[in-house]
Structures are given as structure tokens and as C-alpha cells.
Copies of this chain bind each other. A is one copy, B any other.
């Protein structure tokens, strides 16, 4: 059966209504509320067809109908209107995030905050930190006789530091030699390559060649690998309770647990590739806790390469139009901030 224009209109009406009310919607309501010029009986027949085609579902006989995942997918791909974010909301974002490039952590936290406040959903920010950035230079600052700080500066101006304990005493010559060797070896390498190099046996060779540093190199490697790891932030978890979907405590709990258990969440998000805004609906996320959730994410970049994603999580009945507009704007904005 083909889905003709009238069916599409009815489907759109059901989705729009369900997104805003969370109530199953009946033929009579559609006939009254959305003036489509056809009677409830006709709508009833069409809805029956739509159900057969897998776009609508009935919680039980004699309840109204509810959009299926398939319907949301159709809606996201073809029905919904891509909008620009209203001017005043753009201004809120710009004001809150500021123009100054702070520490990266601070941007991430602020982004998560504003995202959850603006959308009223739970927000996520996953930052692959430096992956893809190029190392510009590593500076070493003495701390005491057997420890120092490695300050890692990337070409995109991101700075991270990590404390390293050394076996040998920290002297001026030691520092100088260290700086020379490390920067010689690692200049202009991407962090991704660096991490691979650490994981491989390569560093042993390096350690061998500079025998006076051999005890140090592995420690440095470990320090760098910690400093360049990924992170996930979540904010607005209490927003989950804005939705009747989560009035069931056990559902809310298991979702909250998933969000707090960053590892799993990270895995789910990292499976989502793609540039720009990506909408993942329900079972597409392939996780039982999230089978009734949608996740909308957008990537942001530094120096052309994706270094993270921001996103919101909520019921499949999500205000996709609005959420997409917000994510589109914020991801572009922070990409701009990072590039500078």
C-alpha cells in the first residue's frame, strides 16, 4: 500500500499531537482539532491502514493510537521542518557560553548545562578530547626532586596537564634533554597516533635509544594516555521526570544508571558516526534501557576533525524539530569557538 498525501497529513497530526500530549489520540480528536475536511470515520479507516503499514500502534483495543518508531523515523527524515533557532534563544546560548575560550572542561560543562536548560531534556557531551588534534609541544615543569608536570599543548590551543613521577632526580639538564627528545620524537603527531604508539611496543625502542631516560618514557606515556582520554558529561538528569514516560520509577532508575555509568553510554554514542545532527530512535540505539528513548547528537570539530559529540536524550516522543535546531546551532557555535 502506498502512503498517500492524506495519510501523511493524518500521520503528521498524530505525531504532532502525541509529542505534545503523550496521550494516545483517536480519530474524533483529529477530525475536530486538525481541520482536514474529512470525517472521523474516514480518518478511522486511514488510521487502520496506517496501523497495518506499521506506522501506528494501539496500546490496547479501544484506545487511541500512538506513533511507532517507524513513524518517528519517517517524521524525522521527511515530515519535520528544519528550522533556525529563534534569535532570542541564540542570544541566550552566546551569552551563557561566552566568547572567551576557557579551559575546555569549562566549555563542556557549560554546554551541557545550557543544552539541558534549553531543551528540557537530559543533555550529554562526549569529548574525545584530543583525538585528532596534533601535538604542538610538550612542556615540562619541575615540581620537586622526583616529579614534574607535563603540559601538553595541541595545535588547536587545547591544553592539558598531567603529573609524572620520575625515577631519576629532576635536574635542569634532565628537563632539557627530556624536552628535546620528546618533542623531537612527537612533533606534529596526532594524539590518536600517540595513543596507538603507546599501546604498541614502539615506546620500548624509543626508551632504548635514549637510555638515560628509559625509566621515564613509560611513565610519561601512561600520563599522556590518561590526560588525553575521553570523557562524558551529563546534565539535566532531573529533566527526565518532566515526562510521564518515566513516572515508572524502575524505568527512570535504569536509564539514570545507564547515564551515570559512562562507559556504556560512551560505547553507544561512539557507535553513532556521521557529521552534523544524527537522530537515533528507540531500538536503533540497540540497548534495552534505551528502547523507549531517542538520542539526538551532533558532532563538533577542532581543526576539521571531529573531537566530540553533544546530544540530548529523551522519550521517543521527542520535540525533534526544536532539539535539532538547538543542537545544530550549539555544535556550530562551539566548533567556531574551538577553531579560534
Taking beta carbons and an 8 Å cutoff, which residues of A are in contact with B? 100-103, 105-106, 139, 141, 143-144, 147, 149, 151, 153, 157, 159, 161-163, 165, 226-227, 235-238, 241, 247, 249-250, 252-253, 256-257, 260
Instruction: Give this chain's copy count.
Output: 2
Known contacts A141-B153, A165-B100; decide if A241 and B256 are in contact (CB<8 Å): yes
B143 near A157 with CB under 8 A, answer yes
Known contacts A102-B226, A153-B143; decide if A237 and B249 are in contact (CB<8 Å): no
CB of A230, distance to nearest CB on chain B (Å): 13
B151 near A103 with CB under 8 A, answer no
CB of A218, distance to nearest CB on chain B (Å): 13
Q: Which residues of B contact A247 (CB under 8 A)?
A: 249
B227 near A103 with CB under 8 A, answer yes
A159 near B157 with CB under 8 A, answer no
CB of A272, distance to nearest CB on chain B (Å): 23
Q: Which of B143, B149, B157 is within 8 Å of A144, CB to CB?
A: B157
30 contacts between A and B (CB under 8 A): A100-B165, A101-B163, A103-B161, A103-B226, A106-B226, A139-B139, A139-B141, A139-B151, A141-B151, A143-B153, A143-B159, A147-B157, A149-B151, A149-B153, A149-B159, A151-B151, A157-B163, A159-B163, A161-B161, A235-B260, A236-B260, A237-B237, A238-B253, A238-B257, A241-B249, A241-B252, A241-B253, A247-B249, A249-B249, A252-B252
Q: Which residues of B contact A249 (CB under 8 A)?
A: 241, 247, 249, 252
Complex-state Cα separation, A143 to B153, whole angstroms: 8
Q: Which residues of B contact A157 (CB under 8 A)?
A: 143-144, 147, 163
Known contacts A153-B149, A161-B151; decide if A256 and B237 are in contact (CB<8 Å): yes
Q: Which of B106, B139, B141, B162 is within 8 Å of A103, CB to CB?
A: B162
Q: Which of B143, B159, B253 is within 8 Å of A161, CB to CB?
A: B159
Q: Which residues of B contact A236 (CB under 8 A)?
A: 260
Report the 4 A-B pairs with minimum CB-CB distance, sorted nearest first.
A238-B256, A241-B253, A238-B257, A149-B159
Q: Which residues of B contact A226 (CB under 8 A)?
A: 102-103, 106
